[in-house]
């Protein structure tokens, strides 16, 4: 799907508005503090049920208000929206006029990926970031994964409770056996997905970082030593786990590493190259989601001018034209969009009157359409 219409009400500093987006390519220009990231955050919120910048809901509602609403009309003419009220903690989700109570009902319909200056934590942050990244793709590409993950999480919680409380050790072997079974299921799905992601990543690094494409390797840990049986590991580490009070091995410990000539990305690549690698990874995931065809992914790229030189932006523009997704790009200055604009120009002899991108300007939270 793509966002054709976006309505926001009381979201951050954005003035309540309805915008018509281009189904493929959109640019948003504005000064520091104008509201560019807030606009991307509103779209992101629909796809994730949370922000990428804050875990505190209060920060998302306009400082003077207590409730925000974000809704879209997608390319299939569906209407999806969410309202959050921070005073009474109420969540309202509406899909085509029908009410739903769970954010998961909403987010499965909207596949949003974002590349922002914060995305570098995929390399420098802990394993949780990388797990989240991989699991987001899995969630959209392998439809049984969300059920598998939910079941696994329930068992993990029960097993941890057993490890913590001294009087439930008799139940520990029951939950351990279940925990192994669910860990293996999750690990198998991740293994299949990671091999698809690695193959796809090759295609996009060839476009975005052609010089290092050959040197990339991907290593991952399923959460325990792959050569050993999980049950044996857990039995051997029973005392340790009891003293920690939680599970030290299992599918929740999955991690993935991206290496260039056997060195980690943040050591081996410059900031600009790291950003291109991030984009290649995001494009790889977006393309896998697209192939499943349930949803057309939406790609948000915040502050495209940061870290990328002219040549890198030209490579990015070429890669975007290979990807059949909807893209929303923000920039502080219009001139950094030059490589995208010259490629997107409709040829003079083209009969079509349709523009192949749309440009917006944000000023103090007010968004307006820019004519060229």
Residue 13 in contact with ligand ATP, rule: CB under 6 A: yes
Residues 18-77 that bind ligand ATP (CB under 6 A): 30, 32-38, 59, 61-63
Nearest residue (CB) to ligand ATP, 171 versus 332:
332
Task: Say which entry of Mg ion, ligand ATP, none residue 205 contacts (CB below 5 to 8 A, set by partner kind).
Answer: none
Supply the minimum distance, in Å, between the C-beta of residue 39 and ligand ATP.
7
Residue 9 in contact with ligand ATP, rule: CB under 6 A: no
Supply the minimum distance, in Å, between the C-beta of residue 59 and ligand ATP.
6
Task: Say which entry of Mg ion, ligand ATP, none residue 13 contacts (CB below 5 to 8 A, set by partner kind).
Answer: ligand ATP
Supply the minimum distance, in Å, between the C-beta of residue 38 and Mg ion.
8
Only segment of 32-40, 81-89, 159-167, 210-218 that touches Mg ion (CB under 5 A): 32-40
Supply the minimum distance, in Å, between the C-beta of residue 308 and Mg ion.
15
Residues 280-309 that bind Mg ion (CB under 5 A): none
What is the SS3 string spanning the chain? CCEEEEEEECECCCCCEEEECCCCEEEEEECCCCCHHHHHHHHHHHHHCCCCCCCCHHHCECCCCCEEEEEEEECCCCEEEEEEECCCCCEEEEECCEEECCHHHHHCCCCEEEECHHHHHHHHCCHHHHHHHHHHHHHHHCCCHHHHHHHHHHHHHHHHHHHHCHHHHHHHHHHHHHHHHHHHHHHHHHHHHHHHHHHHHHHHHHHHCCCCHHHEEEEEECCCCCCCCHHHHHHHCHHHHHHHCCCCCCHHHCEEEEEECCEEHHHHCCHHHHHHHHHHHHHHHHHHHHHHCCCCCEEEECCCCCCCCHHHHHHHHHHHHHCCCEEEEEECCHHHHHHHHHHHCCCCCCCCCCCCCEEEEEECCEEEECCC
Query: Site size for ligand ATP, by CB under 6 A?
Result: 15
Nearest residue (CB) to ligand ATP, 1 versus 61:
61
Nearest residue (CB) to Mg ion, 37 versus 71:
37
Nearest residue (CB) to ligand ATP, 41 versus 241:
41
Member of 2, 10, 37, 148 binding Mg ion (CB under 5 A) = 37
Closest by CA position to 139, among listed 124, 149, 129, 152? 149
Task: Say which entry of Mg ion, ligand ATP, none residue 38 contacts (CB below 5 to 8 A, set by partner kind).
Answer: ligand ATP
Residues 5/19, Cβ–Cβ less than 8 Å: yes
Residue nearest to Mg ion (CB): 37
Nearest residue (CB) to ligand ATP, 46 versus 234:
46
Nearest residue (CB) to ligand ATP, 59 versus 104:
59
Supply the minimum distance, in Å, between the C-beta of residue 367 and Mg ion.
14
What is the SS3 string spanning 117-130? HHHHHHHHCCHHHH
Residues 329-348 that bind ligand ATP (CB under 6 A): 332
Nearest residue (CB) to ligand ATP, 30 versus 137:
30
Residues of this chain that interact with ligand ATP (CB under 6 A) are: 12-13, 30, 32-38, 59, 61-63, 332
């Amino acid at each position: 799907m793509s966002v054709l219409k976006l309505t926001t009400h009381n979201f951050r500093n954005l003035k309540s508005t309805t915008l018509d987006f281009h189904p493929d390519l959109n640019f948003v220009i504005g000064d520091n503090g104008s509201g560019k990231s807030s606009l991307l955050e509103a779209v992101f919120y629909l796809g994730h049920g949370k922000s990428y910048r804050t875990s505190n809901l209060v920060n998302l509602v306009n400082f003077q208000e207590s409730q925000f609403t974000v809704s879209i009309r997608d390319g299939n003419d569906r209407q999806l929206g969410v309202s959050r009220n921070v005073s009474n903690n109420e969540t309202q989700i509406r899909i085509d006029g029908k009410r739903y109570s769970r954010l998961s009902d909403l987010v499965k319909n909207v596949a949003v990926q974002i590349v922002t200056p914060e995305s570098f934590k995929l390399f420098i942050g802990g394993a949780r970031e990388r797990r989240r990244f991989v699991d987001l793709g899995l969630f959209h590409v392998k439809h049984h994964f969300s059920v598998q993950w939910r079941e696994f999480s329930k068992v993990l919680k029960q097993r941890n409770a057993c490890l913590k409380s001294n009087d439930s050790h008799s139940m520990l072997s029951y939950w351990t056996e279940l925990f192994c079974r669910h860990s293996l299921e999750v690990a198998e799905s991740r293994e299949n997905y990671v091999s698809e992601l690695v193959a796809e990543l090759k295609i996009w690094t060839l476009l975005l970082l052609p010089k290092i494409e050959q040197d990339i390797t991907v290593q991952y840990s399923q959460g325990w030593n792959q050569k050993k049986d999980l049950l044996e590991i857990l039995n051997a580490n029973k005392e340790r786990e009891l003293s920690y009070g939680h599970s030290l091995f299992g599918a929740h410990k999955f991690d993935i590493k991206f290496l260039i000539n056997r060195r980690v990305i943040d050591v081996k690549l410059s900031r600009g190259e790291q950003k291109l690698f991030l984009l290649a990874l995001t494009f790889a995931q977006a393309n896998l989601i697209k192939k499943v065809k349930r949803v057309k992914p939406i790609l948000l790229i915040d502050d495209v001018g940061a870290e990328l030189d002219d040549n890198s932006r030209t490579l990015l523009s070429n890669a975007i034209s290979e990807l059949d997704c909807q893209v929303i790009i923000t920039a502080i200055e219009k001139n950094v969009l030059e490589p995208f604009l010259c490629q997107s120009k409709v040829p003079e002899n083209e009969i079509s009157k349709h523009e192949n991108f749309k440009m917006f300007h944000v000023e103090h939270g007010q968004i307006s359409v820019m004519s060229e």
